Chains A and B, each alone.
Chain A
Amino acid sequence: QVQLVESGGGVVQPGESLRLSCAASGFTFNNYGMHWVRLAPGKGLEWVSLIRNDGSNKYYADSVKGRFTISRDNSKNTLYLQMNSLKPEDTAMYYCAKDIHTVTIHWVLDYWGQGTLVTVSS
Chain B
Amino acid sequence: QSALTQPASVSGSPGQSITISCTGTSSDVGGYNYVSWYQQHPGKAPKLLIYDVINRPSGVSSRFSGSKSGNTASLTISGLQSEDEASYSCSSYSSSTTFVVFGGGTKLTVL
> What residues of chain A have their CB less than 8 Å away from a CB belonging to chain B?
4, 35, 37, 43-47, 50, 59, 61-62, 95, 97, 100, 106-115
Contact = CB atoms under 8 A, between A and B. Distances in A.
B36 interface: yes
Contacts of A100: 48, 51
Which 6 A-B residue pairs are closest in the complex by CB-CB distance?
A44-B104, A47-B100, A44-B2, A45-B102, A112-B45, A108-B51
Interface string B10-44: 00000000000000000000000010101000001
A107 B97 contact: no
A41 to B, nearest CB: 12
Main secondary structure of the interface of A (DSSP, over half): strand
Most chain B CB within 10 A, of A46, A62, A108, is at A108
Contacts, number: 63
Nearest to B52: A108
A44 B89 contact: yes
Contacts of A59: 99
Given A46-B102, A62-B98, A110-B57, 5 more contacts: A47-B98, A100-B48, A106-B51, A107-B93, A110-B51
A26 B98 CA distance: 29
Interface string B76-108: 000000000000010101000111111111000
A107 B105 contact: no
Nearest to B32: A107
A107 B100 contact: yes
Given A112-B47, A115-B45, A47 B101 contact: yes
A111 B98 CA distance: 21
Contact of B97 (A50, A62, A108, A109): A62
A47 B2 contact: no
Contact of A47 (B45, B46, B47, B99): B99
Contacts of A35: 100
